[in-house]
Structure 1
């Protein structure tokens, strides 16, 4: 806003304040004064009229009414009422407001009210009271006076305001000309490039004493600019060299993104409120895309990916973002928002955009993306952020789903550092496989319904970091890295060996999960069959291998073959997470499953969702036809438990009935 507009606005506000205050004070003072005058007028008129009517010669009715009429005809009173004591005939005279023109508008009379109360006096005949006289003055003349005074005061204040506004306009215009003459010329000489040194070194004396300090400051700034101009040119040149762009997509490259992230993390360490979320998305089939398309087509496709993601980001103008290409298949999006909901909303929009850019591959199917999202504000340095992103991406790749793997809290895999790099993971897992660093943790589970109970133990694979005594890494943290590095099948085989050993010493049933990457490995199933044939039949019969419903959908042929082969050896097979992957129902009859397991969001929302109840009915109906038991975990409340129990589903009992045990 310009200085003139600010001055005019301030003057307008001042004038409005003065007007409002003056009107309020004046109206209130005048109203109080007129109220007192009306009360006094009514009081004097009532006293005079009562005195006249009390005279001995004015005691007949006609004379009393004549006196009242004479006073009312003066036009100064709104109402006069004479009330005799002994008679019921009340003599009343009052103005008809409906037939008279209004002196002031209704809104003004409603806003400014006058309390013209009636004054009452007694009328006597000697010492005997014969009645009362009530007189109320007319307030219309007072309201008319207030209305006129308001208009006069309003016109005076507005006139003064208009005069002051014109004076302010003239004053500001004169001040602008003085500033342009005294200061602008010098500033333009400093800011203009290619000026001779003589012009930059000139200093002119100001014609106004008020501007001497400003002229001195401009001179000092001129000297500082001359001294630092060469240094600034050098720094600008170095910054331009650092701001490299990816040659294919035109996006920021890895160096720029890392430097920018480091600067923001340093500001956060100094106390600045720099928080954000980072989305890393990788094209898992870039090599297959290179085989399906020419190099020029791949470059155009990558450029289109960058353009489409930038267009998707622009639809969220409230979230500042930085998009970069880290390497051939990895892209990263920094979202400067502390809100996880906003970050997830934007990330889902990016995922939807990338889904539309999938490429059909020669081998069949379409290209796949993997997504990892973390809260960067939870980490202290850039290396920790990058390692956490990489670990989250490994989890996304190993899970096999197309959703975004969101990690809200830092994953403290080891005690003193964040997720290890690929080389560190390779060393940890390889050392554990060679030196018995993999063990199983056992948890007792108890499921029940009206038909009976199912008692068993569930095993979780644990990696022991032997370089740090007592450090145990659970399978859900290290198995994503094992699958990327090709150790998945070896880890699952080791787990099966440990499970068979435990079953040899314990009479209970044991459930062990098997990953999709292992099931897709060509030599995994034959090796497992050999292990089962070498074990006693009474041991194998108590082992249950559990696969994910997503594995049954995405690798149906391999998973079905695995299930049939191990069941032929005497092992039971279970299916978990069916509620999150309902497509697995169409493959359910093609593998000999002993039980199905549902839980998570599907069970939590089944009570209030008709769609979930219909899906639950389909699951139960299919399971009954195939003679498969249905188990439910994480039941949120008793209402849901009652609904599931009526359907014949086995529910997990409380933690008091399932005490964890471990050989770690």
Structure 2
């Protein structure tokens, strides 16, 4: 591109100061912004002042750089330009853009100014420039400068032909520049549209995020309230044991799982939306979003069918609990679903979400009922659990959590083989059983802190009991929850307590249930082997209530097997119970496991179990859990 600058002697007498005055038709801009401001501030300024050609970037009130609107739009319209620069200081954008600034004095002749402006390279030729007037700086558009030149040229006849040629070329160049600016503006608008989409959608799954879903909820509730739309039911979904998959397989596999869950949710939403079915009513609608982490939410219109939301929940349960392929292997997860029947019962979206969340946690606590409809009395249950959580935290600080010990007897010798430490909450007036607070401790993560407190207490009791003359070879058995078993730091933490208290790890039996050990076998195996290497003895507790698969036992480093009371209850009364007990004992011995019969409450049970070959027993027949045991009671 080439533009001819005509220079006439008479134009040397025309100074820039005489052209760009407030009373003249040509405007001079004075917008100044600090180099440390963010680019998004400048974008807002350009949006407010559409005619503003550029701004003066000032650093330390000294150096000045002219950044034009065109250059700014060009930089942020690059791929990822908005993400990179908008929230960063202008200093970084300047480094990337490398703008060239032309600064002229107000005393500069018009001809010299035109020649200087048009002598710039093609990429900067049509950029505005700075005119200095004393300490003040003004932004001048090239178009205005050229128009001033045109006005001067019009005063002479003998330059008319050359003036026409120059004006035509300039107009063409300006038109092209304006077209380029218009194109950049369109690209900026597309980028803004994309940013608005990103603001309301989850980047991983493509579903609506919290902001987007909440907006849909508010719109749906407003439409229903004004009689313009249907009523909706609400589902709140949470994946069970997602954290274990995420931790054991890695976050990338966890993300794969979330994406597959979102795809199944989207497929269901597509099927129930009007555009997907010829027989669908215009009132049918299904909206899906990702609330956070492994939590998802869904709205379902219910005017045509009040039970539609429950049917959708049942369909989702079947879909989301089907196996997922992660890394070429199938994995399954559970789903807990909370249901709110109708949004029309609420004035705002937040209480509806809260109640659906409450119902979801009820479903999570009652595994046999994965779909729970919210009911008003659940508020009191939640309030009580919140109170219980606060009291439990205080109980940990006040050492109100104590151990009661129940003996495990070697019935062949009458000696105490071990004492099982059973956790109790000793409040001022009563004892809270573990069934009321262990689930709260697991949900809040307090169980890990409580577990370490239990180990310290057991160490203190063991040393005290031995010093008073108790059997120095007796063991203490402690229960490990599923949450603790997921903690990879558990083995080192328990060992450190034993070392600090000078109690050998070999004097402890750590009990885990079948469900805890088998839910994620590989993860459990690693932690159990670590515990075993540190000297702890391991017991599989409540055998017979979970998977009941003896084939698994040889893979795990268990030392003992505790047969659940449900299998022992009929011993001495039915032949089948005795045969089952004998079979478990025989196979356990083949695997090298010691066997403990739990729940022995009658003398006839003890005698029959002895005849069957059982040596180690535990139950009310020998003693109930107590804070301490007298030394003389060590024979049974």
Q: State if a TM-score over 0.5 links the two structures.
A: no
TM-score range, shorter chain: 0.3 to 0.5
Q: Normalising to structure 2: TM-score of the pair?
A: 0.43
Whose radius of gyration is greater, 1 or 2?
1
Greater share of helix: 1
